Amino acid sequence: MKTKILGTGFSGMVGSRIVEKLWEKYDFENLSLEKGIDITDRQRVFEKVNQFKGEWVLHLAAKAGVDDCEKDKELGKDGDAWKVNVLGTQNLADSCSATEKKIIYVSTDFVFDGENPPTDGYSEEDTPNPINWYARTKYEGERIVQKMGGNWLICRLAFPYRAKFVPKKDFVRAILSLLEKKEKVEAVSDQVITPTFIDDIANALDRLMEAHAQGIYHVVGSQSLTPYEATRLIAQKFDQDENLIVGVKRQNYFAGRAERPFKLVLRNDNIEKLGVRMRTFSEGLEEVERQLKARDL
């Protein structure tokens, strides 16, 4: 019999791939606006969680556009970013506490400021310091979940990508699309990111649930690099013209936009101790290419 998972965000770029990868083992039920459920509606959330007979609640949904969230900052707790990312999380956490269910809260590498990271990267024990409104609301969600007691799991993701998702392009497919159209690509040369292949995220979540893990886990890739380096690897893997790629400084690229963390190197030791192999960016691109050629999605 399949394990039941009640969740949010299963129609999104990450959530839909988790469902595609794990549907044979898990029975997913989506709490979404399409299903008539607004997670900011406390009463409706409590009703659905109370009716749910399974053990796990996977919370992926968020207002995630960094610049859009920054526009909400002046509205504070009246803005959508706070309502969805904080109040929505509060509703789910409280309803899980009341019904003794386990919540998996999906957070972000952006909770760190990226200014003075440890030499080998941020671990789960390092103290967050969000520097934009999106990150602040996601970190507030983390703090809410951590106050629940023992039945919680926080998974921080970083720059997720996959082979195909029609509704939205991740950064890999956005760059590839520009290169294929022979358009110039500006890529930041003085920022560091840790891209994560979404198939690996699905495998990691499966293992975490199997192990009944608790606490914070960095579910991120095994290679950190600059966006400029990542863009060149994309061009090389898909036989595109590297001369189209122009390196730019982050202060110029993000001028007039929300502040971005500088050096987001995250360690994934804890998830790999559970036997989950998180691919490097180069390895992830190889699998993206293989899936596209084989149409094995």
CA–CA distance, 124 with 150 (Å, rounded to integer): 17
| Partner residues linked to 152 by β-bridges | 103
Q: Write out the DSSP string of 69-113.
A: HHHHGGGGGGSHHHIIIIIHHHHHHHHHHHHT-EEEEEEEGGGS-
State the distance between the two ends of the chain, measured CA to CA, in whole angstroms: 25
pTM to 2 decimals?
A: 0.96
What pLDDT is recorded for position 232?
A: 98
> Which runs of E-coded beta strand occur in 139-256?
152-157, 160-161, 185-188, 196-197, 215-218, 245-248
CATH number of 3-294: 3.40.50.720
> Which runs of E-coded beta strand occur in the chain?
3-8, 26-31, 56-59, 102-108, 152-157, 160-161, 185-188, 196-197, 215-218, 245-248
Q: Which residue has 């094995």 as its token pair?
A: 296
pLDDT tens-digit profile, the chain (297 residues) = 899 999 999 999 999 999 999 999 999 999 988 888 899 999 999 999 999 999 999 999 999 999 999 999 999 999 999 999 999 999 999 999 999 999 999 999 999 999 989 999 999 999 999 999 999 999 999 999 999 887 899 999 999 999 999 999 999 999 999 999 999 999 999 999 999 999 999 999 999 999 999 999 999 999 999 999 999 999 999 999 999 999 999 999 999 999 999 999 999 999 999 999 999 999 999 999 999 998 665
Residue ranges covered by each domain of the chain = 3-294
CA–CA distance, 262 with 140 (Å, rounded to integer): 21
What pLDDT is recorded for position 296?
A: 60
CA–CA distance, 165 with 149 (Å, rounded to integer): 36
Are 223 and 282 contacting, i.e. CB atoms less than 8 angstroms apart? Answer: yes
What pLDDT is recorded for position 297?
A: 59
Are 57 and 106 contacting, i.e. CB atoms less than 8 angstroms apart? Answer: no
Three-state SS at 58: strand
